[in-house]
Structure 1
Amino acid sequence: MKRLGVCLLSVSLGASALALAGGAAAETWKLAPGETKTYYDADFTRVDEASGLVVTRIAEGKANGPYKAWPAGKGPILLFALDCAANKWMDLGMDFDGTKGLPKGWRKEPKVDDISGAVGKAGKLACETKDSLPKVALP
């Protein structure tokens, strides 16, 4: 019985590590300050150790897990990398079901001016709290 318990715990921990590595960690969607429909995923938002870019995702909809019950008529979840010091952002694509990770070569995407123009107040908040965000070695 002990062996079965250890085996199940091992499988559970392994699955959790894979989920974190692939970006499919828990979702905590929070309303961006001053917004009425735009949410950002606080659990997904992090700083890339290699580049110092903030990686985040936003969505328009409801707070309780857009991936779990995302209406077909709503837009996708949008992935961004933010260069806070330069006030520039990078478009990392769209996600419709929560399975999309960072695209290959994402650090080389072209940078566009004005973070708040694309990511809104969620981007501004991510940059303001950059020092307190988790720093992660991203692929």
Structure 2
Amino acid sequence: MKKRLVACLLSVPMLGLALPAVSESWKPAPGEAKTQYDADFLRVDDQTGLIVLRIAEGKGGGPYRSWPAGKGPIMIFALDCAADKWMDLGMDFAGDKGLPKNWRKEAKLDDISGAAGKAGKMACETKDSLVKATLP
């Protein structure tokens, strides 16, 4: 949780995705009672092989559009599974933000599980079955 808070505090300004809006499908992270991940946002970047993931902490049913800021932000990460590193791509308070400009150049930090929790671990374990996309 501490690393997630650090990720929030270090976040960069967000810019909208250049892609059409994707639907949301919030699911509980395996083995975590309060963390949800957006299965529809989960993608593998064609250019780098990084996985983009967004998670939020909240009650069952998860966050949705207009998720109240008092419930905590939706956090966006890029995961480099082979190196066990993650990149902080910012926070989203309404469920409509995308990837920041030049997101591939963000600093990589150690320990995916420490930042993205079990949702990050699950994303890495299922990488081969995730949607591959050309991201901005």
| TM-score interval (norm. to shorter) | 0.7 to 0.9
**Structure of larger gyration radius:** 1
- Provide the C-alpha distance between the structure 2 equivalents of 1:97 and 1:59, rounded to a whole number of angstroms: 11
Q: Aligned pair count?
A: 120
**TM-score normalised over the length of structure 2:** 0.83
Counterpart pick for 2:19 among 18, 21, 26: 21
**Where does structure 2 lack aligned partners over 5 or more consecutive residues?**
1-16
Q: Which residue identity does 1:102 align to in structure 2?
A: L
Report the CA distance between 1:69 and its aligned residue: 5.3
1:8-42 C-alpha deviation (Å, 9 max, x unpaired): xxxxxxxxxxx9814x3111111111100000000
Tell me the secondary structure at the aligned position of residue 22 of structure 2: coil
Identify which range, 70-79 or 103-112, moves more after superposition: 70-79
CA change 1:55–1:69 in 2 (3 A) is same
Structure 1's consecutive aligned runs of 4 or more residues displaced over 6 angstroms after TM superposition are none
Over the residues paired in the alignment, what is the CA RMSD in angstroms? 1.7
Q: Find out whether 1:101 has 2:126 as its counterpart.
A: no
Identity of aligned residues (%): 73
Alignment check: 8 A CA contact 1:47 1:133 kept: yes
Q: Which residue identity does 1:30 align to in structure 2?
A: K
- Provide the C-alpha distance between the structure 2 equivalents of 1:129 and 1:62, rounded to a whole number of angstroms: 25
Q: Answer 1 or 2: which has greater helix percent.
A: 1
Q: Which residue identity does 1:85 align to in structure 2?
A: A
Tell me the secondary structure at the aligned position of residue 122 of structure 1: helix
Match of 1:138 in 2: 135
- Provide the C-alpha distance between the structure 1 equivalents of 2:69 and 2:40, rounded to a whole number of angstroms: 24
Alignment check: 8 A CA contact 1:27 1:65 kept: no
Identify which range, 61-70 or 34-43, moves more after superposition: 61-70
Match of 2:120 in 1: 123
Match of 2:52 in 1: 55
Tell me the secondary structure at the aligned position of residue 73 of structure 1: helix
Q: Which residue identity does 2:93 align to in structure 1?
A: F
- Provide the C-alpha distance between the structure 1 equivalents of 2:85 and 2:70, rounded to a whole number of angstroms: 29
